[in-house]
Amino acid sequence: MPEPYLPLQSPVTDMRTGFAQRAWALWFQFFASIFKGDAGTCIIRWGTGSPESVITAPVGSLFLRTNGGASTVLYVKESGVGNIGWIAK
């Protein structure tokens, strides 16, 4: 499954001036790190299909299923280690 966030190597530029805006770049890096998460921290990911046996994350993490239906759009990692323990809400 591809990463759900934009790579930080992508240039962030002001369309009017063509120059990178430092504040925008810092904002982007901050939120990209939150969505990706660091080792041992909760993460927020999204994609298609169930995250069970696919997405490795710590307990407390969230997965938003873009092709879900009733009661299968939000998943919470409630238990387990690795990629098991995801519960649809």
Do 19 and 60 belong to one domain? no
Residues 55 and 75 in one domain: yes
What is the pTM for the complete model shown? 0.59
Rounded-to-integer distance, Cα 31 and Cα 37, Å: 10
Same domain, 42 and 32: no
Domain range for 20 is 8-37
Query: For residue 5, what pLDDT is reported?
Result: 47
Number of domains observed in the structure of the chain: 2
The reply to whether 1 falls in a domain is no
Same domain membership, residue 13 and residue 30: yes
What per-residue confidence (pLDDT) applies to 71? Answer: 93
What pLDDT is attached to residue 7?
Answer: 47
- pLDDT value for 72: 94
| CB 42 within 8 Å of CB 62 | yes
Q: Are 43 and 57 in contact (CB under 8 A)?
A: yes
The residues of the chain scoring below 50 in pLDDT are 1-10
